[in-house]
Copies of this chain bind each other. A is one copy, B any other.
């Protein structure tokens, strides 16, 4: 069997190593959980500034009420109470392209636009006007390809996602308002002139921009959204154990079922 390289962890009879540290001696009680999550993916310990932005992103994405994924987790626990892991997994499985994908899509869009700009050899803009130009080019590129502009719009927060300005302010406070957040803010400024209507910059997109400015590759962004959501789902499962609603919901659905035998429904 070939050797399987890993930099995450290993253990032997007397010690457990994680990220090159001794778990018991160097990490327990000295490293926070979110700090460890950052470290596990980036393979470097975050600075206090990076950690504050990172935790704000996780908190922003942790929960959004009785979402489809929270409902799915609760329904699953009802059928398989012996398996909390199954209920949690069912909830996470709904965290795909449509709901949690925005964070990743926005990160991908912003990263590509910044990379395209860098390939021109020009220095990065130092003014909002400069970033506005980059944003116009990026938006035009999306539209030319028939693609939507990720990070714009929210089904509920039509006048503005309350998370976006706060996340941006925190990044500024910590000196981490980097190129991806700069560009994202510029998209918010210039899109009306190109799209003909004003849409809010949503929080999921802002989180994607902030994670890119923290140096994470876009391929893992959805993973952080899922980690955040895991905490929210735990809250829902703990509540379901205390005061269940899934059975009542299932009964309501059964009562509201409009059974249309095949051929009678035009389907």
**A residues apposed to B, CB below 8 Å:** 1-20, 22-25, 27-29, 31-34, 36-37, 40-41, 43-44, 52, 55-56, 58-60, 62-72, 75-76, 78-90, 92-100, 156-160, 162-163, 165-167, 169-170, 173, 217, 219-220, 222-224, 226-228, 230-232, 234-239, 241-243, 245-246, 248-250, 252-265, 267
CA distance A247 to B246 in the complex (A): 17
- The CB with the most chain B CB atoms within 10 A, among A8, A24, A56, A257, is that of A8
A69 close to B75 (CB less than 8 A): yes
A17 close to B226 (CB less than 8 A): no
B90 close to A28 (CB less than 8 A): no
B32 close to A55 (CB less than 8 A): yes
Question: Chain B residues near A18 (CB, 8 Å)?
Answer: 62-63
CA distance A162 to B222 in the complex (A): 33
Known: A1-B1, A71-B250. 20 other contacts (CB 8 A): A1-B253, A4-B257, A7-B259, A8-B65, A14-B157, A16-B162, A23-B163, A24-B162, A28-B60, A33-B62, A33-B231, A36-B231, A66-B254, A71-B75, A76-B93, A79-B100, A81-B98, A85-B94, A227-B234, A230-B230
With known contacts A68-B78, A75-B68, A62–B40 Cβ distance under 8 A = yes
B265 close to A7 (CB less than 8 A): yes
A96 close to B86 (CB less than 8 A): yes
A8 close to B97 (CB less than 8 A): no
A34 close to B31 (CB less than 8 A): no
A234 close to B27 (CB less than 8 A): no
B248 close to A220 (CB less than 8 A): no
Question: Chain B residues near A99 (CB, 8 Å)?
Answer: 79-80
B65 close to A11 (CB less than 8 A): yes
B87 close to A89 (CB less than 8 A): no
Nearest-neighbour CB distance to chain B for A45, whole angstroms, equals 10
